[in-house]
Amino acid sequence: MKEFTNEISDTTPAAIKGENKAEAKFGVWGVCATGHGVHGDSTTNHGVHGESVGGRGVVGNSQTFFGVSGSSASGIGVSGESASNVGVLGKSPHSFGVQGVSETNHGVHGDSVSGRGVQGKSQTFFGVSGSSESGIGVGGESTNGIGVFGKGGALAGRFEGQVEITGNVLVGGDINLPNADCAEDFDIDESTVVEPGTVMVLNHVGALTPSAHAYDRRVAGVVSGAGTYKPGIVLDRRQTPGNRQPIALLGKVYCKVDATYGAIEVGDLLTSSPTPGHAMRADEPLKAFGSVIGKALRPLRDGQALVPILIALQ
């Protein structure tokens, strides 16, 4: 067995310190079948601290649990520094390679001058995972570069829930939206309750109300969201004390249609009808000018129904 030189004095700020000046690889090496190989606690400094000039500062391997686990009440859970290689490397086939927990600071924090602050790899799960009860799960900051970078064969990133962007969005490829129409929020008359698919017209103060007259030139559009068509883009969405609804201005939308005034065929122009909130076939071109809502995409021989139409206000 090689001799290990331990130079520990009363002034050494470490609970455990291991130095190796021989040919063996490890300054401190701990093996345990069921618990922690090396466990370090500190109230004011690092529980475990590893430094390496050309190798790995701290290495942790585990078959069923954490390769390296660090927790801190007010500081850094795990800190690793390396001049030319990996500061902290953790591998685990079933759980997290590296997990850090902190009450008031970063669970895992990585700094790099020219490389990657934190890098995580996984065959079946998250390369890097962050969770937070009330703060930011994963945060990335860069003064002159990219705060967070994602690259994937299927998707570079996926978000479940709302996404807020306070700056510009730069797109180098196409924008694919699975939903149907382009809508814009409008103020609705406060005394009116409207359903998706309702034909809407402007009232005397500029708010919208369901149509009630044939060939009404105040027609503004159809309330988006009926049937299987949902709005792909909603413009002017903001919080107001009043009632606002998305009105389809472009694209496909389901519309309330009344065929009592004439059977409707695919391609027929539609206008407002005497039936409140319903469209009808536009048979009189002179009256229809300025009151056309769009074109029917399906026929309706009689009665009333929701019919998909192509919005074409004219």
Q: What is the pLDDT of residue 3?
A: 46
Q: What's the rounded Cα separation, in Å, for the pair 28 and 170?
A: 49
Q: What is the pLDDT of residue 13?
A: 59
Q: Contact at 8 Å (CB) between 68 and 77? A: no
Q: What's the rounded Cα separation, in Å, for the pair 103 and 49?
A: 20
Q: Contact at 8 Å (CB) between 247 and 222? A: yes
DSSP 64: S
Q: What's the rounded Cα separation, in Å, for the pair 206 and 245?
A: 14
Q: What is the pLDDT of residue 20?
A: 65
Q: What is the pLDDT of residue 25?
A: 62
Tokens of 195: 């359903």
- The domain segmentation of the chain, as residue ranges, is 1-132, 181-311
pTM for the full predicted model? 0.62
Q: Contact at 8 Å (CB) between 280 and 214? A: yes
Q: What is the pLDDT of residue 294?
A: 95
Q: What is the pLDDT of residue 179?
A: 86
| CA dihedral sign of residues 229, 234, 240, 244 | negative
Q: Contact at 8 Å (CB) between 231 and 180? A: yes
Alpha helices in the chain (DSSP H): 285-288
Tell me which H or E stretch contains 10. Answer: none
Q: What is the pLDDT of residue 2?
A: 42
Q: What is the pLDDT of residue 21?
A: 62
Q: What is the pLDDT of residue 1?
A: 41
What's the CATH number for 181-311? 2.40.300.10
Mean pLDDT by 10 residues, the chain (314 residues): 47 62 65 74 73 70 71 72 72 70 69 69 73 81 84 86 89 87 90 90 92 96 94 89 90 96 96 97 93 96 96 88
For 259, list phi and psi in degrees, rounded to 5.
Answer: -90, 10
DSSP 199: E
Q: What's the rounded Cα separation, in Å, for the pair 14 and 6?
A: 12
Residue type, 116: R
